[in-house]
Every structure is written in structure tokens, then in C-alpha cells.
């Protein structure tokens, strides 16, 4: 870890513009850290001792069962915050999920004293935290609603449509197991639905890849 006075302190990202870390004392206390992809940042029930301000990369936060099933709760990108780590840091409770570096990360680390000082003394920082918390709460409510009320086929089609939009319609390097982990179901269930979508000529399946054949058909199912 090295001092971070030379690196930008206001990463861009989705949603609100991230405010700068306030006060020279806090800036001097922040340390830059590089974390390789695949690193587990938090295990379930582990206590969070630092606030991480993400500059580069993506963190996946998920729950898993004893049987090995997973479901993605949300992802953290630059300019966003991990609300569950805030919960652990502020409340002194264990982290209620697992957080893994999906890509290589660069972040600024503040200890709890520095974080508490920023919250106490910077109104803009407090407002930013509340805005992020409110947005993430909405995301979690939507996730619970989707799991409870929407068919798995609909949820899978919506996920595929989103991934194809992000890839510009290019084939997805995606396994059935990875899709199952995103949705909190089994690989067998995902494979069955993908075969059905292939039969309907929405997609074409290859080893480790999914090709889009008919955006219209996939979109129709996604909005059914």
C-alpha cells in the first residue's frame, strides 16, 4: 500500500457524481490498494474494518447455500458503494454475504476512524451515502420481487437480453453454471430453459458460448 495524494479521489460511475474524499487529514490517511481478480474481499460473517472507495474494477456481492447454489445480490463499480460493507462497518456486524473481485481492483482504503470523521464533518458525503443506500435498497426490493413473482424463464430472458445489449449482440462467453449463479437456481434448470429458447430459435448454444439469433423473439418473451 502507498499514500494516495497523487491519484484522483473522485471516480466516475453510475448514478450520482461521487464527491471527493474530504479534508487533508482523511486524504493522507487513505491508502491505495490493488486487488487481483478472484480475491475474496469478504467471507460471510466476517467483520468489515475499512471503507473502500472503488476507483477501478467490479465487485460481485452474492449469497450462497450449503448446496452450492448462488445468487447475485448486486455489483459494485467505480463511483458506487457496497451497502453491506457499510452495514458491517457502521453496525459492527458480520458481513451478511460474500464479496469477490470480479476483475482487478484499485481502491482507496479508509479505516473506521477516517470514515467516521468524513460522515460527521461532511454533509455532502452523508447525502451521497443516503442516495446510494436508497438506490441499492430499490435494487434489492426489485430482486426480491423478481424472485417471488416472476417465472425463472422470464428472469433468464431478461438477464440474457441485458447481457446481449451490453455486448452489442456479440456471442456471450457464458456457462450455464454462471447463469445459474446469477439467478439463484440450478444449472439443470437453466440448461432446460436455454434448450427451450434454442428450440424457439431465440439463441444458439455452443460450448461455453450463447449466440443471439432473434433479438425480437427474446425481447417478446422478456416482456411477456
Per-residue CA distances from 102 to 120, 132, 197 (Å): 32, 21, 28
In residues, how long is the chain?
Answer: 224
* Model pLDDT, residue 67: 83
| Of 11, 97, 103, 15, residue with least CA distance to 59 | 103
Note whether 2-148 and 151-222 share their fold.
no
Residue whose C-alpha cell reads 439443470 in the numeric block: 188
CATH number of 2-148: 2.60.120.10
- Where along the chain do its domains lie? 2-148, 151-222
* Model pLDDT, residue 172: 94
Side by side, which strands form the sheet with 98-101? Answer: 40-42, 98-101, 59-64, 70-76
Residue whose C-alpha cell reads 460474500 in the numeric block: 98
Q: Does domain 151-222 have CATH number 1.10.10.10?
A: yes
* Model pLDDT, residue 70: 92
| Residues 165, 75: Cα–Cα separation, whole Å | 18
* Model pLDDT, residue 20: 53
* Model pLDDT, residue 120: 86
Report the predicted TM-score, pTM, of the whole model to 2 decimal places.
0.75
pLDDT in single tens digits along all 224 residues of the chain: 333 333 333 334 444 444 455 555 556 678 889 999 999 999 999 999 999 988 899 999 999 988 888 999 999 998 788 999 999 999 999 999 999 999 999 988 889 988 888 888 888 888 888 998 899 989 989 888 888 888 999 999 999 999 999 899 999 999 999 999 999 899 999 999 999 999 999 999 998 899 999 988 888 887 66
| Residues 70, 186: Cα–Cα separation, whole Å | 9
Amino acid at each position: 500500500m502507498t499514500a494516495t495524494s497523487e491519484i484522483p479521489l473522485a471516480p466516475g460511475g453510475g448514478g450520482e457524481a461521487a464527491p471527493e474524499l474530504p479534508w487533508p487529514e482523511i486524504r493522507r490517511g487513505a491508502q491505495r490498494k490493488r486487488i487481483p481478480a478472484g480475491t475474496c474481499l469478504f467471507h460471510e460473517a466476517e467483520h468489515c474494518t475499512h471503507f473502500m472507495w472503488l476507483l477501478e474494477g467490479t465487485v460481485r456481492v452474492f449469497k450462497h447455500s450449503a448446496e452450492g447454489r448462488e445468487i447475485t445480490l448486486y455489483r459494485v463499480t467505480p463511483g458506487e458503494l457496497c451497502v453491506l460493507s457499510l452495514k458491517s462497518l457502521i453496525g459492527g456486524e458480520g458481513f451478511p454475504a460474500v464479496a469477490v473481485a470480479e476483475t482487478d481492483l484499485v481502491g482507496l482504503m479508509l479505516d473506521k476512524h477516517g470514515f467516521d470523521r468524513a460522515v460527521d464533518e461532511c454533509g455532502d458525503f452523508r447525502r451521497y451515502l443516503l442516495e446510494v443506500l436508497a438506490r441499492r435498497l430499490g435494487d434489492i426490493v426489485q430482486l426480491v420481487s423478481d424472485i417471488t413473482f416472476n417465472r425463472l424463464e422470464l428472469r433468464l430472458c431478461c438477464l440474457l437480453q441485458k447481457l446481449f445489449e451490453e455486448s452489442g449482440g456479440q456471442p456471450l462467453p457464458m456457462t450455464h453454471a454462471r447463469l445459474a449463479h446469477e439467478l439463484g437456481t440450478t444449472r439443470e434448470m437453466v440448461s432446460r430453459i436455454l434448450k427451450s429458447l434454442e428450440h424457439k430459435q431465440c439463441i444458439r448454444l455452443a460450448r461455453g458460448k450463447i449466440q443471439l439469433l432473434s433479438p425480437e423473439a427474446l425481447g417478446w418473451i422478456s416482456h411477456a
